[in-house]
Amino acid sequence: MPKVVMYTTAVCPYCVRAKFMLKNKQVDYEEIRIDTDHEAMQVMMQRSRRNTVPQIFIDEYHVGGYDDMAALEMAGRLDELLGLAES
């Protein structure tokens, strides 16, 4: 299964929604809090070229934020990226 990494902060409704979506799919993810780790924030901004949260990566693929992940779900592509698609 691909590795999912999500950069978040403590007070972020879109982070909560993204985590809820992944939990509903029973997908494990690594959460990196950028509000408590300045170095992690710099890494996130370098990787994503964005300064908003959440920033979600599936392996090296940059999904983007919650809205981007929700759009992939609506298009039927998220499960494939997460390795959940039925063959």
DSSP secondary structure string for all residues of 4-55: EEEEE-SS-HHHHHHHHHHHHTT---EEEESSS-HHHHHHHHHHHS--SS-E
Joined tokens for residue 15:
């982070």
- Which residues constitute the domain of residue 50? 4-81
In a domain, 86, yes or no: no
Look at residue 67 in the predicted model and tell me its pLDDT. Answer: 98
Q: Please, what are the averages of pLDDT over each run of 10 residues along the chain (87 residues)?
A: 97 98 98 97 98 98 99 98 86
Number of domains comprising the chain: 1
Is 87 inside a domain boundary? Answer: no
Among 61, 73, 59, 77, residue whose Cα is nearest residue 20: 73
Confirm whether 64 is domain-assigned. Answer: yes
pLDDT in tens, 43-62: 999 999 999 999 999 999 99
